[in-house]
Structure 1
Amino acid sequence: MEPVRKPFQGVLNIIRFNWHFYIIAIGIVSVLILIATNSNVLISSTLYVVCTAILVTLFISLVVSWYVYDVSDLYRFDWIENMDTQNPQKIVNINAGLDESSAFLKHKFKQADCTVLDFYDPLKHTEVSIKRARKAYPPYAGTKSIKTTTLPLADNSIDKVFAILSAHEIRNEEERILFFKELNRILKPDGQLVMMEHLRDITNFMAYTIGFLHFHSKSTWMRTFSSANFRVSNEIKITPFISTFILEKNGTTS
């Protein structure tokens, strides 16, 4: 049976897991409006402009999130139609505490042996939003907890690895490179790594303002890929806000 996402599930989850940010923003706007009502025309006009900017920014970020997570093809995986999804393969899906993709991948790759790995570490990933998400969504059946630098899989054993909106949670560059070297190690010589991420670019800045700093830049990712001996065979723009890199092995890691 094909998995189905509920209407507005993505954007409602963002509000649900990050409600403290919205409460803080509404609180700031309320205080500024209170100050503005007791100030001169110049100050009150300036404060009203600031309040409007805050509210418009929140609205735009939610609209973009609704488009990306609820309207686009992100979780339908129609963008992987050119991949072989029918023959038996070994695939791995890696998440960082919130797994919204394994059920859809398993449906897409019906004949595949699918392993789900979760590198969430409560000592490193202390964001309250992730903790709330883990309470709301239990791990996919059979999910294995792992460390980013040591994957419990044999060399050259996996056909495809998916990292859907998860790898950016590895904030340390050295750790991130070691993680990608491990992905290189487990992939077969003709295997593929499919990594999907927001980028720290002007498009995501326009959507999420300072929130785009949580993402890595394309140059950072390219440096990571190169250091782990991956090459980009294709880059897919599912939306203007999401980039998917199809990576292939480019030699042996060291």
Structure 2
Amino acid sequence: MEMKRRKFQGVLNILSFNRHFYVIGVASLTLLISLVLYFELSTYYTVILVLGFTYGLLVPLIVSAYIYDYSGFYEFRWLDQFDFKDSKNNTIININAGFDETSFIIKDKLPQSNLKVYDFYNPDRHTEPAIVRARKVSNIYPYTQRISSHSLPLKAHTVDYIFLISAIHEIRNNDERITFLKECGRVLKNEGRIIMVEHLRDLPNFLAFTVGFTHFFSSVKWRKSFKTAGFRNINEIKFTPFMSIFEVY
């Protein structure tokens, strides 16, 4: 089953899931302009402040439109470079944090493979308001199973590919994240691979999302986490300046 994305769905998702930030931002900008007019502040400083607020509100939406609506990310052509084999003997798992936009796409790309979908969302641990809102509109793949981030309900060395698409940064606790990655390593076959896609805490994402980039982890942090979890091969490929695809095994 192919899920058709609406025009500007990526931007609309950002606005919907993070609307509390935009409400605060617009209210702050309105208050700022009111104070400027009331106190008749310098035009120079007024322009700087208004431009700063406007940048913080609009640029994340523009970048999100580029990444999620115009880059072809959700067409998954970037997956072709990994030369995955599609076979009825393959087991693939896709793990999300309660918002799933990729499982139907993965199944369309690899229709013969056995796809299992897991959701590790825990309302007590993963408390970001955006996740709560995203869960309400997520397209739930059939037989999606709720799991703990500490345990995957699979036998050792039985999985060919694991997809972690913009989800694992929601595990904010370092020990919990490493435990989760160790579980991924346990269930992977010797020749199996993890494909992880994430924004990074780097300069391009700072320019795009300003302080919001702190919600992501750096490439160095991810590499350290994977190595601590027992992985030795970590290849990073850029997809746009704002996202990285990690091939891990």
TM-score of the superposition, structure 2-length normalised?
Answer: 0.95
The separation in 2 between residues aligned to 1:138 and 1:63, in whole angstroms, is 24
Which shows bigger deviation, 84-93 or 6-15? 84-93
Is residue 92–residue 115 contact of structure 1 (8 Å, CA) maintained in 2? yes
Is this contact kept in 1: 2:223–2:234, CA < 8 A?
no
- Residues 36, 48 of structure 1: 8 Å contact kept: no
Cα separation, 1, equivalents of 2:104 and 2:74: 10
Residue 109 (structure 1) shift: 0.6
| Runs of 5+ consecutive residues of structure 2 not aligned to the other structure | none
SS at match of 1:81: helix
1:77-128 Cα offsets, whole Å, 9 max, x none, are 1111132243221000000010010010010011010000000001112222
The answer as to whether partners of 1:3 and 1:107 remain within 8 angstroms in 2 is no
TM superposition shift of 1:41: 4.0
Corresponding residue number in structure 2 for 1:112: 113
The answer to whether the Cα contact below 8 Å between 2:165 and 2:196 also exists between their aligned partners in 1 is yes
The CA distance in 2 between the partners of 1:215 and 1:94, in whole Å, is: 18
User: How many residues are paired up?
Assistant: 247
Task: Read off the aligned partner of 1:56 and give its amino acid letter.
Answer: Y
| Uncovered stretches (5+) of structure 1, i.e. residues with no partner | 249-254
SS at match of 2:115: strand
Does the aligned pair in 2 maintain the 1:33–1:48 contact within 8 Å?
Answer: no
Which residue pairs with 2:151 in the alignment? 150
Q: Distance in 2 between matches of 1:41 and 1:127?
A: 37
Give the CA deviation at 1:53.
Answer: 1.0
When structure 1 is superposed on structure 2, of 11-20 and 78-87 the one drifting more is: 78-87
CA distance in 1, matches of 2:28, 2:186: 49
**Residues 73 and 238 in structure 1, CA contact (< 8 A), matched pair in contact too:** no
Distance 1:132 1:155, change over 3 A: same
Deviations 1:54-81 (A, max 9, x none): 1122211101001111111321111111
1:202 aligns with 2:200: no
Q: What is residue 252 of structure 1 aligned with on the other side?
A: none
For structure 1, which segment, 88-97 or 134-143, has the greater mean C-alpha deviation from structure 2 after superposition? Answer: 134-143
Cα distance in 2 for residues equivalent to 1:189 and 1:45: 62
Identity of aligned residues (%): 43
CA drift at 1:246: 0.4
Q: Counterpart of 2:31? A: 31
Cα distance, 1:236 vs. partner? 1.7
Find the counterpart in structure 2 of residue 241 from structure 1: 242
- 2:71 match: 72
Whole-angstrom CA distance in 2 between matches of 1:93 and 1:50? 43
Q: Secondary structure at the match of 1:87?
A: coil
User: Distance in 1 between the 2:71 and 2:85 partners?
Assistant: 21
What residue identity is the alignment partner of 1:214?
Answer: H
Counterparts of 1:162 and 1:241 in 2: how far apart (Å)?
A: 19
Query: Which amino acid in the other structure matches residue 70 of structure 1?
Result: D
Counterpart-to-counterpart distance in 2, 1:191 and 1:19: 39
- Once the two structures are TM-superposed, the CA of residue 138 in structure 1 deviates from its matched residue by 4.6
2:11 maps to what in 1?
A: 11
Query: SS where residue 116 of structure 2 aligns?
Result: strand
Q: Deviations over 1:195-221 (max 9, x none)?
A: 110000011000000000000111110
Amino acid at match of 1:181: K
Matched with 1:86 is 86
Letter in 2 for 1:14: I
Displacement of 1:140 in angstroms is 1.8
- Name the aligned partner's letter for residue 209 of structure 1: T
